[in-house]
Homo-oligomer: A and B are copies of this chain.
Amino acid sequence: MAYRDEKLDEEKVFKDPVHRYVHVRDRVIWDLIGTREFQRLRRVKQLGTTYLTFHGAEHSRFSHSLGVYEIVRRILENFRDHKDWNEDERLLSLCAALLHDLGHGPFSHSFEKAFRLDHEDYTQSILLGDTEVNRVLSGVEEGFPKKVADVINKTYTDKLVVSLISSQIDADRMDYLQRDAYFTGVSYGHFDMERILRVMRPLEDQVAIKESGMHAVEDYIMSRYQMYWQIYFHPVTRSAEVILSKILKRAKELYKNGYEFELKPVHFFSFFEEAPSLEEYLDLDENVVMYYFQMWIREKDPILSDLCERFVNRKLFKYIEFNPNLQMNAWRELYDLFEEAGVDPRFYLEVDSSSDLPYDFYRPGEEGERLPIHLLQPDGGLKELSRLSEIVESISGKKRTDHKLYFPADTVEQISDEKTKQRIKGILYGREEQ
């Protein structure tokens, strides 16, 4: 039998807390899961620094990837007999679902900003480069790795396949909302996925939702909305990310300045040069990063040491609301005061805006946006969701930004010049503490 059609002697199942079981029957899928590049996802947390806010959020991208695979598998079971679904695309869809996050590095968002990387480029490199994953995919048929890469890159010709993992209601989102809710323990994030799967209909270039399922989809959109504000944009999580970014910035600066590290950051060199090779990129998972951070607590550079201590032992920055339109003068004054007090503001003062975060609400029609959700009407016509749903209409297209100013409250307390300290606290906490 051709490798692409090979089935396991006995179906393998993974116990999964979110989907109960993940079922694997294809040998290709089983072999992909066993590759070192896929196993590496166990060492990258799904939610980065969120575990410092919600202690349950210690789950990895490994379990999320299995979950996305499982959802696509279930969708395709329902599609099997539909005339608009091409069963030849099944294995391709499953592979793309499983591998869509393969290029994620440690604490993705912060690393990508600090070192000008894009995890999507690395996903492509892993799929197409000299890797175990590539060898498995190549066994399916010539050009198969490229096909998988194209689906993940949204450039594959069959847009229906693309939409399974990249649309406004794709398997990726449906898994992470439920999974992140489960592990953090919040009661948001629940929606009736079983119903949504039942009302999905394959069309030529997208998955549409039968109009009778509109309320289930509304619930899904609301879950997204709540999860973003309750979990993904949580200000304490962002405090940890601010510190993480500052560590990377400081380490790079020290490296550029020829500082003599106690523990040489050999794993970071190519990152500091903004040109890690694929191998170097794969080597730097969150275990390795945390190893350095733990070691760097003992570096003699006080800023690097302090920031690492803060991250590792969760001594985070505090925050206040910040209005960039009204408070820029205050910010400049703070900046100067920090400098006067010997607290380097480049590392200890930061405005963080939720709008910089890589999450999107439902914004139909916006340029570069993912395909909006279409409802399939009894007469066969399509209508965009927000035209039928008042609730979705009310939250779509709106951009609510939340700015916070982060600073080390404990360090401020230790400023020796009393007058400077009081002026800083006056600005930060308002009159009542002056």
Chain A interface residues toward B at CB < 8 A = 13-18, 20-21, 34, 36, 39, 42-43, 51, 54-56, 58-60, 62-63, 66, 182-188, 190-192, 194-195, 198, 215, 218-219, 222, 225-226, 229-230, 283, 285, 287-288, 290-291, 294, 312-315, 390-391, 393-395, 398, 400
Chain B residue at smallest Cβ distance from A315: B34
Chain B residue at smallest Cβ distance from A18: B185
Question: When the two chains form their complex, are residues B194 and A21 in contact, meaning their CB atoms are under 8 A apart?
Answer: yes
Question: For the complex, what is the distance from the CA of A314 to the CA of B31, rounded to whole Å?
Answer: 12
Question: When the two chains form their complex, are residues A54 and B15 in contact, meaning their CB atoms are under 8 A apart?
Answer: yes
Question: For the complex, what is the distance from the CA of A205 to the CA of B391, rounded to whole Å?
Answer: 31
Distance between A233 CB and nearest chain B CB, rounded to angstroms: 11
A225: B residues at CB distance < 8 A: 391
Out of B60, B226, B314, which one reaches A58, CB within 8 Å?
A: B60
A17 in contact with B56 given A188-B219, A191-B187, A395-B390 (CB within 8 Å): yes
Question: For the complex, what is the distance from the CA of A192 to the CA of B17, rounded to whole Å?
Answer: 13
Question: When the two chains form their complex, are residues B219 and A226 in contact, meaning their CB atoms are under 8 A apart?
Answer: yes
Question: For the complex, what is the distance from the CA of A182 to the CA of B13, rounded to whole Å?
Answer: 18
Question: When the two chains form their complex, are residues A184 and B17 in contact, meaning their CB atoms are under 8 A apart?
Answer: yes
Question: For the complex, what is the distance from the CA of A313 to the CA of B34, rounded to whole Å?
Answer: 8
Question: When the two chains form their complex, are residues B395 and A313 in contact, meaning their CB atoms are under 8 A apart?
Answer: no
A55 in contact with B14 given A43-B290, A290-B43 (CB within 8 Å): yes
Question: When the two chains form their complex, are residues A20 and B194 in contact, meaning their CB atoms are under 8 A apart?
Answer: yes
